[in-house]
Amino acid sequence: MGLFKWFKPEDIQLESGSRFASYRLHELINSGGMAQLWLASNNKEETFALRIAHPDLSSVNRKRFIQGCEALSQIPAHPNLIRYIAHGKWERIPYLGMEYIEGANMRELFAAEDEILIEKIWDILFGCASALEHVHESGWLHLDYKPENIVISRGGHPKLIDFDLCVPKPEKPVELKPAGTPAYMAPEILLHKPADQRADIFAFGVIAYELFTHKRPFIGESSEEVLRKMLDERTGLVPPREYNPDVSKGLEKVLLKCLERNPDKRYPHMSVVIRDLQEAP
């Protein structure tokens, strides 16, 4: 049972023009399983994106929401990370204030076959890599690295969002409870084996593969089906050049190394991934 079942629907009314904490709500941008995202402004008429947790959120998800806010607040600012403004509680409802970006997430752009994914493909790729490198170097794992969590501005600038599953980066691999999207989760997490930053690097490989081929390397309706395809030595992974001959051999080599089933064969750090991407012809 959620912590806020004592709230009646009329207790908290979120609508355009109403106030929440020190913000005025203007437009509902999105509503997901964890929260609503509003376009809001403060008393100085500065515009922000305000993420407001659902009042009836379960205790587990409420804890994740708050942990995500605290993680983002502790990670230093970076051009490819959503900019943190503030977080707190109002009437016991957790919220997070962030910069507002005019754009769409990568999944929406894939669905729309938006030309910006072609025109700015290398800028997007390096921006995504740089964001993940910064998260790791700041001492965190993201663990929910997927197209839905990468917002791309109208100018083609990517920003990493949603830190609800973020955890401190361990000194050595530890078992992490599967909680993300199966198609972007590393095999070791799905197998309940110890994992570290290389799990995020696997997820980056999936996104990069999808960015250049518009296909996921492993497709399935469940985590079990995805895992079977990841581990199936008979079928293996289709090299991205078979889908897109414009992918260079150097880039293909980087993507396949990110997607190694065995984390010991994968890149150890995003800084090495970026180095090889820069050297890929």
pLDDT tens-place string over residues 192-212: 999 999 999 999 999 999 999
Find out whether 22 and 43 touch, Cβ atoms under 8 Å: yes
Burial readout 191-202 (b: 16 or more C-beta within 10 A, e: otherwise): eeeebbbbbbbb
In which band, very low, low, confident or very high, does the pLDDT at 218 lie, cut at 50, 70 and 90?
Answer: confident
Torsions phi, psi for 76 (to 5 deg): -55, 150
Catalytic residues: 144
pLDDT at residue 195 in the model: 96
Average pLDDT over residues 180-198: 91
- Please report which confidence band the pLDDT of residue 180 belongs to, taking 50, 70 and 90 as the band edges: confident
Question: Which domains can be identified in the chain, with CATH numbers?
Answer: 9-98 (3.30.200.20), 103-279 (1.10.510.10)
pLDDT value at 1 more than 90:
no
- pLDDT at 49 > cutoff 50: yes
What pLDDT score does 233 carry?
A: 61
- Computed over every residue of the chain, the mean pLDDT equals 91
Burial 210-233 (b: 16+ CB within 10 A, else e): bbbbeebbbeeeebeebbebbeee
Q: What angle do CA 271, 275, 281 make, to 5 degrees?
A: 150
Query: Has residue 8 got a pLDDT over 80?
Result: no
**What's the average model confidence in pLDDT over 143-161?**
96
Beta strands in 23-170 (DSSP E): 23-31, 35-41, 47-53, 84-90, 93-98, 103-105, 140-141, 150-153, 158-160, 167-168
pTM of the model: 0.91
Assess whether pLDDT exceeds 70 at residue 66. yes
> Confidence band (pLDDT; 50, 70, 90) for 7?
very low
Of the given ranges (29-38, 120-129, 133-142), which has the lowest mean pLDDT?
Answer: 29-38
The model's pLDDT over 239-252, given as tens digits with 9 standing for 90+, comes to 999 999 999 999 99
Looking at the DSSP bridge assignments, the partners of residue 195 are: 174
**pLDDT band at 99; cut points 50, 70, 90:** very high
pLDDT, position 235: 62
